[in-house]
């Protein structure tokens, strides 16, 4: 398969970026999107040019590092699919594909397609953990948890922290990410103890990082590679209101 790529190139955080055109030729349909970029980069390196910078790590949809806006949609718009699991067979031979970095004030571009997602880390540092005295691992079933609650917590825990929800949102809101993290811990007895402090601190860190407000457009849920439900945002809002009343 052959493609024409319009790729965002930007030397560094302060440089002015712009689109550059590249050809991706002889691409095997079963290659992932990132493997296709690897092929293009090998060609650029052979010609002595600067390869296109992009983020990736696990390439298995687990780590949340891959972060490309493909044809205007974070992760390319295939349901429940991260960029690293998007395959070239889903495009048409001869397509022109536009590739950009996440766009949000809280995610400054570092180089080409790489953005700084440290703002998400700062939100986690504010409360995305359980403060427990460490000791021996307890027996698996020592704390019974109803199945429905346990499954809901695991649904929230599926968030890989990629930031596509922010990139898709017209307000650059991180509510889906924060709601997933708050719910994952707050639904389980080990994390419920600190749920009020957690939701207040994480929302405060989210606001401080420059993310926008949620106006419930649902664009976050639509692009989320882990299909995190918008209902977690309502759940977090309830937690937040209750915690705010109690703090007063």
Interacting residue ranges for ligand SF4, rule: CB under 6 A: 159-165, 176-177, 180, 224-226, 228
Partner whose footprint covers residue 206, from ligand SF4, ligand FES, none (CB < 5 to 8 Å by kind):
none
158 binds ligand FES, rule: CB under 6 A:
no
Which run of H or of E encompasses 74? Answer: strand 73-74
Q: Is 82 in the site for ligand FES (CB under 6 A)?
A: yes
**Span interacting with ligand FES, options 21-29, 51-59, 149-157, 175-183, rule CB under 6 A:** 51-59
Residue 128 contacts ligand FES per CB under 6 A: no
Closer to ligand FES by CB, 79 or 105: give it. Answer: 79
Tokens, residue 145: 């948890």
Residue-by-residue DSSP string for 28-71 = -TTSBHHHHHHHHHHHHHHTTPPPPP---S-SSSSS-----EET
Is 219 a binding residue for ligand FES by CB under 6 A? The answer is no
Tokens of 48: 């002595």
Burial class of residue 2, CB neighbours in 10 A (0-12, 13-18, 19+): exposed
Give the whole-angstrom CA distance, residue 20 versus residue 81.
26
Residues 52-71 close enough to bind ligand FES by CB under 6 A? 56-59, 61-66
Residues that bind ligand FES (CB under 6 A): 56-59, 61-66, 82-84, 160
């Amino acid at each position: 398969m052959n493609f024409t790529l319009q790729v965002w190139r930007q030397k560094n955080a302060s440089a002015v970026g712009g689109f550059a055109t590249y050809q991706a030729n002889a691409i095997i349909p079963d290659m992932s999107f990132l493997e296709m970029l690897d092929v293009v980069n090998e060609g650029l390196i052979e010609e002595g040019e600067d390869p296109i910078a992009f983020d990736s790590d696990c390439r298995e949809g687990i780590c949340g590092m891959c972060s490309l806006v493909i044809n205007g949609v974070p992760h390319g718009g295939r349901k429940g699919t991260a960029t690293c699991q998007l395959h070239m067979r889903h495009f048409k031979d001869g397509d022109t594909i536009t590739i950009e970095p996440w766009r949000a004030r809280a995610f400054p571009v570092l180089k080409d397609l790489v953005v700084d997602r440290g703002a998400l880390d700062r939100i986690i540092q504010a409360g995305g953990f359980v403060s427990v005295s460490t000791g021996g691992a307890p027996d698996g079933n020592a704390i019974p948890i109803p199945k429905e609650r346990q499954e809901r917590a695991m649904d929230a825990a599926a968030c890989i922290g990629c930031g596509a929800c922010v990139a898709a949102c017209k307000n650059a809101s991180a509510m889906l990410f924060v709601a997933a993290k708050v719910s994952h811990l707050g639904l389980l007895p080990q994390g419920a103890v600190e749920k009020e402090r957690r939701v207040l601190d994480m929302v405060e860190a989210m606001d401080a990082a420059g993310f926008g407000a949620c106006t419930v457009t649902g664009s976050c849920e639509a692009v989320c590679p882990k299909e995190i439900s918008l209902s977690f945002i309502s759940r977090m809002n309830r937690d937040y209101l209750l915690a705010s009343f109690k703090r007063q």
